[in-house]
Amino acid sequence: MISAVRGTRDILPDQVERWRRVEEVARRVCSRYGYYELRTPIIEREELFSKGTGESTDIVQKEMYAFDDKGGQRVTLRPEATPSIVRAFVEHSLEQSLSVAKLFTLGPMFRYERPQKGRYRQFHQLNVEVFGVAEASLDAEVMEMACTLVGELGIDESELVINSVGCPDCRPVFSEALLNALGGDLSKLCGDCQRRAKTNPLRIFDCKVEADQSTIDRLPHSTDYLCDACRGHFEAVQRHLRLYDQPFRLSHRLVRGLDYYTRTTFELLSSKLGAQNALLGGGRYDGLVKRLGGPDRPGIGFAAGLERLVLALPDVNDQMVPDVFVAAIGSLAQDAVFVLARALRAGGLRTLVDYEARSAKAQMKRANRAGVSHVVILGDDELAAGEVTVKTMATGEQCKVARDKIVDVLLSAS
């Protein structure tokens, strides 16, 4: 047997309906907030992510599936969607063709990392991005939208956590204060923290090594080093969240793992996911569009892991169950049953039919196992009379129905 590649998995029929529910709610919520769907390739030039995601990130340094294609070009399977969306925004001049540059995507991403619950090497994300608006009111709306999405999925006990990491003007001051506060303790931290101290000191807050936590908890907070503009922006974000009556919690440790974030960062956490408790996360990235060759436009967005959302969904019996089983009894009905099944499907009914001319008892057994609500029986007598027999499985009751009325009768009964 050839098994799936480690870190990938099949989404089997008993899970697909949960995935469809997440995707349908995501599209519905995005549409209500004025977002346009975009679909980008899963393969991009490697430089898109080294420039966009950041050379110092674990994604670029350790996790990308990057290789030379047959033309000698360096390409990668996309590890995240934001740089791809920015590329498409710039390449196709979407700010000229869209009334508002609000975009969303749904699709697979690829990172070579240790597989664990809710995290795979091929995983799936909803990405929501807005370009061209710098106001704090948009930050609050994006976060409120994320909370609405999770609420409409029926996921309760979620918590919005926010922070500000400043801008290129005030962040270097904080980074210097961070390193000064660490002092000789830096050499006691893990290797990743020591590397991050040289490339992006804020990412020390991402450390998950238990022995390092007491040292990291004593470090200064980014919000204490914000410039006047960033402080005013962050205060306005909080004021707008309060206008929405949207609860939130401040966390100085929330810096996010990507180099391009500026000012607002946020996550939505769920107690249902255990240690890996983030349902979604994002923030503002005002310099990214320019860095990738576009105009100087601000941006903000978030990514939601579909695997995480599916895990956190409440348990609902949403398996696809056929509506009708069509049973053929007798030799003359064997062909007519397929025509009848076609008419039922055209009427919108999920219909199963027997292909093997089995006995009535065997067909009824299969119908019961499929969980259908009704069985339509077409025998030689019914065929001659222009009618069918309809059996309601819950009660066992049977009645005769004219063949040209069967779709209406079954739809009214469903």
pLDDT digits (tens, 9 = 90+) for 382-402: 888 888 888 998 898 898 988
CA–CA separation, 8 and 111 (whole Å): 11
Residue among 105, 90, 166, 100 at smallest CA distance from 133: 100
The residues pairing with 284 across neighbouring beta strands, listed in sequence order, are: 262, 300
Q: Mean of the per-residue pLDDT values for the chain?
A: 89
Q: Strand order of the sheet with strand 324-329?
A: 351-353, 324-329, 374-379, 387-392, 398-402
CA–CA separation, 79 and 47 (whole Å): 12
CA–CA separation, 34 and 116 (whole Å): 35
Torsion of CA 33, 284, 140, 133, to 10 degrees: -60
**pLDDT class of 120 with cuts at 50, 70, 90:** confident
Q: Is the pLDDT of residue 348 over 70?
A: yes
Q: Is the pLDDT of residue 148 over 90?
A: yes
If residue 365 lies in a helix (H) or strand (E), which one and from where to where?
helix 360-370
Q: What is the pLDDT of residue 50?
A: 87
Average pLDDT over residues 223-242: 95
The mean-pLDDT minimum among 74-83, 161-170, 202-211, 338-347 falls in: 202-211
Q: Is the pLDDT of residue 309 over 90?
A: yes
Distance set, CA 264 to CA 166, 278, 334 (Å) = 8, 17, 66
Q: Is the pLDDT of residue 37 over 80?
A: yes
CA–CA separation, 17 and 22 (whole Å): 9
Q: Where are the domain boundaries for CATH 3.30.930.10 in the chain?
A: 13-170+226-312
| C-beta neighbour count of 132 within 10 angstroms | 16
The mean-pLDDT minimum among 179-188, 321-330, 394-403 falls in: 179-188
Helices (H), 33-134: 46-52, 58, 82-91, 94-97
Top pLDDT among 127 and 205 is at: 127
Percent of the chain at pLDDT > 70 equals 98
The pair of structure tokens assigned to 236 is 């306005």
Q: What is the pLDDT of residue 274?
A: 65
CA–CA separation, 67 and 395 (whole Å): 62
13-170+226-312: in CATH 3.30.1600.10: no
Top pLDDT among 307 and 201 is at: 307
Q: What is the pLDDT of residue 275?
A: 63
If residue 411 lies in a helix (H) or strand (E), which one and from where to where?
helix 406-413
Residue among 112, 57, 116, 118 at smallest CA distance from 82: 57
CA–CA separation, 395 and 368 (whole Å): 12
Neighbouring residues of 110: CB distance < 8 A, sequence distance ≥ 6 = 42, 64, 65, 77, 78, 79, 121, 122, 123
Top pLDDT among 166 and 191 is at: 166
Q: Assign residue 367 a region (left: φ > 0; alpha: ψ between -120 and 50; beta: otherwise).
A: alpha
SS3 for 341?
helix
**pLDDT class of 35 with cuts at 50, 70, 90:** very high
b vs e for 335-364, b when ≥16 Cβ sit within 10 Å of the residue's Cβ?
A: ebbeebbeebeeeebebbbbeeeeeeeebb
Yes or no: say if 180 and 339 are a contact pair by the CB < 8 Å rule.
no
Return the sign of the alpha-carbon dihedral for residues 181, 186, 188, 193: positive
**pLDDT class of 317 with cuts at 50, 70, 90:** low
Highest-scoring range by mean pLDDT, 122-126, 203-207, 375-379: 122-126
Q: What is the pLDDT of residue 22?
A: 94
Q: What is the pLDDT of residue 130?
A: 97
- For residue 240, report the phi and psi dihedrals to the nearest 5 degrees: -70, -35
Q: What is the pLDDT of residue 404?
A: 86
Q: Assign residue 316 a region (left: φ > 0; alpha: ψ between -120 and 50; beta: otherwise).
A: beta
Residue range 324-407, CATH number: 3.40.50.800
Average pLDDT over residues 34-39: 96
Q: Where are the domain boundaries for CATH 3.40.50.800 in the chain?
A: 324-407
Residue among 136, 89, 102, 142 at smallest CA distance from 295: 89
Residue among 11, 23, 17 at smallest CA distance from 321: 17
Q: What is the pLDDT of residue 1?
A: 92
Burial of 29 (0-12, 13-18, 19+ CB in 10 A): buried
Top pLDDT among 247 and 394 is at: 247
Q: What is the pLDDT of residue 163?
A: 95
> Going by DSSP bridges, is the β-strand pair 324-329/351-353 parallel, antiparallel, or unpaired?
parallel
Percent of the chain at pLDDT > 90 equals 47
Q: What is the pLDDT of residue 257?
A: 63
Average pLDDT over residues 238-261: 88
**pLDDT class of 239 with cuts at 50, 70, 90:** very high
**pLDDT class of 331 with cuts at 50, 70, 90:** confident
Q: Is the pLDDT of residue 262 over 70?
A: yes
